[in-house]
Amino acid sequence: MVAAIVASLAMHGFAYFLAQELPQPRVSAPIVFLTQLFAVPEAPKPKPAAALRRTPPATPVEPPAEPARGVSLSQLVSLAPAIANGAISVPNAAPATAFASPLPLPAAIPNLPARAEIAYRLTSNVVDGTASLSWRREANRYEAVTTIRADNFFADFLVGTIRQASRGEVTRHGLRPDDFSLTRGSGEPETAEFLRDTNELKTRSRGDTRSEPLAEPLQDTQSFLFQMAVDADRFLSADTRMDVMVTNARKIYRYQFHRVGEETLVLKSGPVATWHLVSESANAEDVYEVWLAPSLHFLPVKLKFHLGKYPMEQTATSISVE
């Protein structure tokens, strides 16, 4: 009889805390915004291709709509006969690609692999579960997806899988999310759209749609983990504190991370050296901890956080990186 009561409490407890929104860390000090973190890069100049000699056209050559930098429109018009006669070569334009953004992926960002799959063991003082993190990068586009599922059959039946997905662009300064979604079980997805053309953050949660000014740099609950990998050099000094703004489609949270030390975690695959980062708070429920692995592109191999009043620990059990 007692065992049945305990099992029932655990089942309903897990359903409760998974339905909770992520805690909002309390930061009393004003946040310093990194206004240059996501500056839009200039489009690169096309690489000249082999010169082609053209025969004189039947009709006069019209000047290009957009003259080259440093050459006036009148100069281009005066050069039109020489171009037509082949005295001046004209390079071929590079073909456009369907998915690449204007700037190729900079070599200065080594901490973003093409693909990564991490499986986690999720533990709490109520019920255990599993989690997975999937990362994909193609040219300058990315997708990051996390799923969380309880081990208990009835808890899974009542709550289902929690799925978070982030998609956006990879720039020389890191990640720029375009859209984010969070789905709890079979419920309606909660979404966030980063509308930079109109400088808006449009969110939809619990049937309510809101728009507010887009504060840059803003990440979501998936992209910020990879943004910390991009900014890993800033944690070389233990005195450095990095402000992070994160949305989960309901609210905007503020974290302030710093490195508290280096630790070696013993995973199933063997020992892994990590950097231990912490966002501290006077309230234990607002503390967020991340262990990044320098040998694995600074991917998060361990996380500690709270869902409501319940502490959660997420530790990697397998890691695959390409």
pLDDT in tens, 274-306: 999 999 876 777 889 999 999 999 999 999 988
Gap between the Cα atoms of 86 and 53, Å rounded = 5
Low-confidence residues of the chain: pLDDT under 70 = 1-111, 153-154, 156-158, 282
DSSP-assigned states of every residue in 274-292? EEEEEE--SSGGG-EEEEE
The amino acid sitting at 91 is: P
Is residue 182 within 8 Å of 167, Cβ to Cβ? no
Residue whose C-alpha is closest to residue 276's, from 286, 256, 262, 265: 262
- The pLDDT, as a whole number, for residue 6 is 40
Gap between the Cα atoms of 307 and 202, Å rounded = 24
**Residue ranges of E strands in the chain:** 115-124, 129-138, 141-150, 162-171, 174-184, 190-195, 200-205, 208-213, 219-220, 242-247, 252-267, 270-279, 288-293, 299-307, 310-321
pTM for this prediction: 0.65
- The pLDDT, as a whole number, for residue 19 is 44
Which CATH code is given to the segment(s) 2-20+109-314? 2.50.20
Residue whose C-alpha is closest to residue 232's, from 112, 142, 116, 317: 112
- The pLDDT, as a whole number, for residue 319 is 95
pLDDT in tens, 163-218: 999 999 999 889 999 999 999 888 899 999 999 999 999 999 988 999 999 988 89
Give, in degrees to the nearest 5, the angle at Cα 265 between 241 and 151: 100
Q: How many CB atoms lie within 10 A of CB 260?
A: 13
Sequence ranges of the domains in the chain: 2-20+109-314
